[in-house]
Amino acid sequence: MTTSNKPYADTRLAKFLQKRILEMRPKTQNDIASEAGFIHTNMLTMIKQGASKLPLDRVPALAEALECDPRLLAKLALEQTAGATSVRAIEEIFGTVVTRNELAWIEELRDASDHADPSLTSRGRAAVRGIFGK
Amino acid sequence: MERAADVPPCRRPITENERAWIEFLRLISNDADPPVTLRRVQLLRRAMRL
């Protein structure tokens, strides 16, 4: 829940960090912060809790420390900083940014649809939900 | 760890429809960036055939 001292608590980045840091155990949060080059390890705590934004220049090192795709972290950080609309505009200019896994999904979708470029219909949504048990 | 720049670009540009699929995947997976697995591909192909 967003409060005045945690303005970014409801961002996708904060939620991603909370989950991913837990998944990295036994590596500790301090280990991750140190590997990512944060001078003060509590900075990562503040970002995770939504009190601060993730500086974009920390993205490559933090992605490596979290063992996640840097493109994913970069998109979440950019969205946190500039907003989803701005990210969309940036992607219109520079091209859609996808992770390595997402690229594999796109290639499978193309192959499964015989390159028909299917739109995401309600049936497609149900298929994705079914794949992930949602 | 690979650098983002080292991953080869998509063979052709990602379409608006594909972008919608990926955005939905992100939503359903809570940004977990799930990998493609054989089982998931089988389920996807089955759904595309229906």
Residue type, A131: I
pLDDT at residue B49 in the model: 76
Query: Predicted ipTM?
Result: 0.82
Higher pLDDT, A4 or B35: B35
Q: Which two tokens stand for residue A33?
A: 């912060």
Q: Where are the domains of chain B?
A: 13-49
pLDDT at A2 over 80: no
CB contact B19 to A (< 8 Å): yes
For the cut 70, the answer to whether the pLDDT of residue A98 exceeds it is yes
Percent of chain A at pLDDT exceeding 70: 98
The residue-averaged pLDDT of A87-115 equals 91
Interface of A with B in 29-58 (CB under 8 A): none
Whether the predicted pLDDT of A72 surpasses 90:
yes
CA B34 to chain A, closest CA, distance in angstroms equals 7
Given a cut of 60, whether residue B4 has pLDDT beyond it is no
B interface mutation test: which of A18, A110, A120 has the most B CBs within 10 A?
Answer: A120
Q: Which whole number is the average pLDDT over B5-19?
A: 72
- The alpha carbon of residue B9 is apart from the nearest alpha carbon of chain A, in Å, by 9
Which residue from B20, B36, B50 is facing A108, i.e. has the nearest CB?
B36
Residues 25-44 of B with CB under 8 A from A: 25, 28-36, 40-41, 43-44
Per-residue confidence (pLDDT) for residue A1, from 0 to 100: 61
pLDDT of residue A105: 95
Q: What is the b/e burial string over A84-100, where b = at least 16 CB atoms within 10 angstroms of the residue's CB?
A: eeebeeebeeeebbbbb
Query: Cα separation of A110 and A27, whole Å?
Result: 38
Interchain CB contact of A89 with B (< 8 Å): no
pLDDT at B2: 53
